[in-house]
Each structure stands twice: as C-alpha cells, then as structure tokens.
Structure 1
Amino acid sequence: MPQTIKIQIKPQVLQWAREEAGYKAEDIATKLHIPTERYSNWENDGKEIPLGMLKSIANYYKRQLAVFLLPTPPPKLKTPKDFRNLAVSQAGLSPDTLLAMRRAHKYLELARKILGEGYWINQYGWQREIVPIKSGLKKGIQVFDEKITEWLRGKLKITIDQQQKFFGYDDAFKKWRNSIERELGIFVFQFSMPEKELDGFCYAGDKPPYAIIINSDTFKPRRIFTLFHELAHIFKHQSGICLPDIISEKQDIEFECNDFAGKFLIPDTNVYPIKNIKDLGEVARRFKVSREVYLRRNFERRFVNKKDFFGILKELKEQPPPPKKGKKPGAPAPPILSKSIRGEKFYNLILDAVYNNKIDYTTASDALGMGFHYIAGNE
C-alpha cells in the first residue's frame, strides 16, 4: 500500500489563507471531515499535513497549491471601507464576498501592469471636471450638485429619452454598464455574493484603475441603482462596501450617494405624481428603475406626504419579490460568461494584451476563466 505523502508548511501561511478566505477553523474542519483540533494543530505547527488534505484546503480557499509552500504569508488584502449599516456590517464578510474582492483586486493589478499607471491617470482626466461642488456642505461632507448629474448624462451620452427606450431592465443595465466602462474608463465586474450582505462595492484608491463590483444575485433594477451609488463613491475618491437599501439616518455618506443615484436616474423634471402602486410600477418600468426609487423621488419632490410614502413603501416590501428568471438550458459559452462577469472592457483588454505579447496565454486564461482554445479562437 503506497505511503501517504505528508507536507510541512509554515503555519502562519495556512492561518493567513484561512482568514483571507473568510472561514473559521471549525468551518474548514467540517468541510474536510476532520476534528477541529486536528486542523488547529496544522495551523500551530504546520507539520504532517497529508498532500491530499492540503489540495482540498487549497480548493476551499481558492488558492494555488504553491501558495502554501511560501516561507512567509503574503500581505493581507486591503478591503474597501464598510459603509453598511452597523447591524449588517458586524456579521463580517462571507467567503464569497472576500473571494470577489480578491478577484477584483487581482484584475485591477493586472490591468495596471498591462497598460501602466500613467495610462490610467490619463484615462481619468475627467475627474478634474467634477471637483465636488464646494457651495453646499452637509455636516462637513461635500454634497453633490445637480450640475454633476447633468455633466454625467452628457459624458455617458445617454439622454433621459434614450433611457426610456431601453428594452427592459436587462438592456438598461447592459447599456449603462458599457457606457460607464467606455466613457469613464471604470471597470464594472459582477460576482455572486450573498444578497442580504451587500449590493456592491468599489475600488477607487490612490492607484488607478478603478472598478465597480456588482452583486449578480440581485435584481436588475437594484443593480442599476447600485452602479450609480458606487459611482458616487468613486467621484468622492472612496473605496466602499455598500448596501444602499438598508441605511440608518446617521449614514450621511450613504444617504448622499443614494441621493445622487436617484437624481441621476430620475431628474426632477421627470418626477411625476403617482396615484397608486399600479401607476408607480408603470412609471418605474418606463425609466427602468425600481418602484422604491421612483417612490422616494416622489417623496423628495413632495408629491407624496410622509404618511403615504411610508404606507406605500411598507406595502411594496410586503409584496413577494418577482420570481427570478430560470437559467436557460445548458451552460452559457465561456466567452459569454466571462464577459458577463468581467465586462467588455476587461475582456477586450486581456485579449489585446495576449495578442500583443504583453501577457502569456496562461495569464490570459486565468484572468478570463477560459481555456486556451477560446482565447486563440478570437485571434
């Protein structure tokens, strides 16, 4: 009977990998079908780890096996600032969300490496055009002015009339996403994350490029709103984790970003008084926003009083959510799935880079989640 190969690693690396993946020791022990004490011993001394077990650990932590052989742990991932309600944020971040952050960070690092930091600084020259308006201050926080939403309309080249002609919410999200990537140079990624945990987050640190990351498990109207909520954070040079639907009165920045998104999607001149929920639904669909967003704009314009606003809002929340679309038979083609997750901008950047010998096929395959033959087939 062949002898089991056992590996010795630096215990600090194993602990680092677990914490970065968002697991507790008892969680991963359960997945490995071993006592928690046995796993904890590996994190204490790093000795006598069966190779098969280490491969399973690498799979759960979404790491290459070679990472566990490093002499010291790599730097911890810098997560965006948490702007969520305290009751939500105290629960921490799930493994799926932490994985999404790692992937987004990895994609941005690769984009910076391929084109250089100078390229991205030039891409974001538009930032000089939107220095936050200094005239209005709210508790010491610079607030947005309607001139910025008007500027953004022109920059994205989508008028309010064109917005109303989108072919449903799917088409609206796609067009807004592509326009933000094309005109502003901001990547828009989509990853599956727990719906009650967050709607999205963004990276807008000192080093460009920037990215908006959307929770693909939410409905399209919610994703559309999150796009512009996160864009408001980027305009303020803030990397942030957000759940715009659940905020408290003390969250000034989140209120401001919600206000920006609502006023951009539904300018004051396009807010019409609503009569009932049916009327609300029809108008919201026309502008490709959620009923809650259009209702709030009615309240802000004083077309609905406070009592009626909260009454209608309560009624909306009590209604069952619309059924999510069933998945089409068969898996989508890898290029289609890759573009859906990573966006047209990143997808095309990687293809251009591999064809111009800036990166190799292995790097491109890993970045796009596709086999070599799909990448070669696009040449």
Structure 2
Amino acid sequence: MPSVNPDILRWARETAGLSAEDAAAKLDLKDARGVTGAERLAALEAGEREPSRPLLVRMAKHYRRPLLAFYMAAPPTQAERGEDFRTLPPEHSIAQDALVDALIRDVRARQQIVREALEEEDAAIRLPFVGSMTMRQGANAVLASIVETLNLDLERYRRGTNRQPGGFAYLRHQAEQAGIYVLLIGNLGSHHTSLDVETFRGFALADEVAPFVVVNDQDAQTAWAFTLLHEL
C-alpha cells in the first residue's frame, strides 16, 4: 500500500472547513500523555507519523473525500465553482462553504452518470436553449425565452398547489419536460449537514445534454419557485 502524502491530509481537512481542533474531535483523536488530539493530528499532517487505515476511513467520512483521494501524489487543483452570484458577509461560515463544495461535487457526479446513461442508450438530445442567452440581452428577453422553452401558462403557475405553493410543482414539471433535472437538496444525507439558506439557495450546472438545477429545500417552500426561476 503506498504511503499517504501529509499535504493531502492537510488539504482534505482545510477544504472540509475544519480547524485542527474540530477535526481531531470528529476523528476521535483524544489527548494522551500530555499531547492534545489537535497536536497528534498536526504530527500526521507534518509527516511525522503515518495514519492508520481506520483513521483514514474516518477522515474520508468526515472530510467528505473518497478514500483513494488520500493516496494521490499531490492535492488537486481547486475545482472551478463557476459564476458565483452570492453576496456573503465577511464572517460567513467556511464550514458551510465546504458543504456547498461537497454538494456540488456530488451533483456533478450524478450529472455525469445521467449523461453517460443517456449517451449509452442513444437517448442523448442536445438542448438548444442551454447557453443560448447572455446577460447583455436583458431580463425581459431571458424571461421570454424561459416562458417559450418551458411552455409556461401564467395562470396555471399562479394557481400553484397547497403542498408546494407558488407554482413550484408546475414549474418543476415543465422544466423537467424540457430536459432539465431539478433536485430539492438541503443537506448531504443527514440533518447534521444541513445547508444554511444564507450560504446556498440554489445553483445550476449547465450541460447541453443533462442540465441540473438544485434548490435548497431548507428554504421556505414559497421561495422554491423564485430560486428555480433564478437558476433557469
């Protein structure tokens, strides 16, 4: 088994938004013989000690990285997040940002699976509306394009539903009929990883075959339709 590059350990922890103290607590690195758990972790990240296999498994879980990532020769280049329109306060949570990055990685993987499945079944259709508009064309032109592409009926949208108000269910259905995958996701699998709506309300991953839109379901249901329209 190849050895672990200590730079990878530090990169994985920092990109998970964890301080050495917080990471040591999550990894169950306890104080021993006058050495704190954070100091034990620092020794691992400095290459003074080699992490055990069980510890690497715990790191993979809490840092939200595949186990194989710890055997890379060097930390990978930070993936591009794309155009980020968020306005965040200076004191916003780095840990929450790390959760958003983990969610984007997860949805990108789903998108790739869907695209490959469509291509293998010869069902991949290039969607002409993806990337067809620019900000220079203005809001009215973009709105007209959305209405035409999704074949929206304003009265049906306004009626909405009791369970998903604001016409979200109708808007989602029309988007999916047009070939857009719409996901409601507000955490990474448990309530411990809930994504704050001030950090993330929604994002879009453009693709000419399998475009995805994600809406944070931790937000008020009345806001879902607004976020979906914004990402469209």
TM range (shorter): 0.7 to 0.9
Q: Deviations over 1:113-163 (max 9, x none)?
A: 33349976x5321358x544xxxxxxxx61425354234223323311212
> Which residue of the partner structure matches residue 83 of structure 1?
85
> Which residue of the partner structure matches residue 183 of structure 2?
189
Q: Structure 1 regions of 5+ residues with no counterpart?
A: 1-6, 133-140, 232-379
Q: 15, 25, 33: which is aligned to 2:20?
A: 25
Task: Tell me the SS of whatever aligns to 2:149.
Answer: helix
> Which residue of the partner structure matches residue 53 of structure 2?
51
Using the TM superposition, give the Cα deviation of residue 83 of structure 1 relative to its aligned residue in structure 2, in angstroms.
1.8
TM-score normalised by the chain length of structure 2: 0.75
TM-score normalised by the chain length of structure 1: 0.49
Measured in 1, the distance between the counterparts of 2:225 and 2:90 equals 22
Task: Tell me the SS of whatever aligns to 1:170.
Answer: coil
Q: 1:229 to 1:124 in 2, by over 3 A?
A: same
Q: 144, 148, 156: which is aligned to 1:162?
A: 156
Aligned Cα RMSD in Å?
Answer: 3.1
Using the TM superposition, give the Cα deviation of residue 103 of structure 1 relative to its aligned residue in structure 2, in angstroms.
0.7
- 1:64-143 equivalence runs, <5 A: 64-87=66-89, 91-92=93-94, 94=96, 95-116=98-119, 122-127=125-130, 131-132=133-134, 142-143=136-137
Q: Deviations over 1:80-139 (max 9, x none)?
A: 33322252586446132222111112112223333349976x5321358x544xxxxxxx
Q: Deviations over 1:322-377 (max 9, x none)?
A: xxxxxxxxxxxxxxxxxxxxxxxxxxxxxxxxxxxxxxxxxxxxxxxxxxxxxxxx
Aligned length: 213
Query: Whose relative contact order is higher, 1 or 2, with alpha carbons under 8 Å and at least 6 apart?
Result: 2
Is 1:10–2:10 an aligned residue pair?
no
Task: Tell me the SS of whatever aligns to 1:189.
Answer: strand
- 1:293-308 equivalence runs, <5 A: none
> Which residue of the partner structure matches residue 152 of structure 1?
146
Measured in 2, the distance between the counterparts of 1:18 and 1:150 equals 45
Measured in 1, the distance between the counterparts of 2:156 and 2:163 equals 13
* Greater helix fraction, Structure 1 or Structure 2: 1
Task: Tell me the SS of whatever aligns to 2:184.
Answer: strand
Checking the alignment, whether the CA contact within 8 Å between 1:88 and 1:197 is kept in structure 2 is no
Q: 1:43 to 1:154 in 2, by over 3 A?
A: same
Measured in 1, the distance between the counterparts of 2:212 and 2:104 equals 11
Using the TM superposition, give the Cα deviation of residue 22 of structure 1 relative to its aligned residue in structure 2, in angstroms.
2.8
Structure with greater Cα Rg: 1
Measured in 2, the distance between the counterparts of 1:18 and 1:29 equals 10
Using the TM superposition, give the Cα deviation of residue 214 of structure 1 relative to its aligned residue in structure 2, in angstroms.
1.3
Checking the alignment, whether the CA contact within 8 Å between 1:96 and 1:194 is kept in structure 2 is no
In the alignment, residue 81 of structure 1 is paired with which amino acid? E
Q: Structure 2 regions of 5+ residues with no counterpart?
A: 30-36, 187-194
Using the TM superposition, give the Cα deviation of residue 75 of structure 1 relative to its aligned residue in structure 2, in angstroms.
4.3
> Which residue of the partner structure matches residue 170 of structure 2?
175
> Which residue of the partner structure matches residue 219 of structure 2?
218
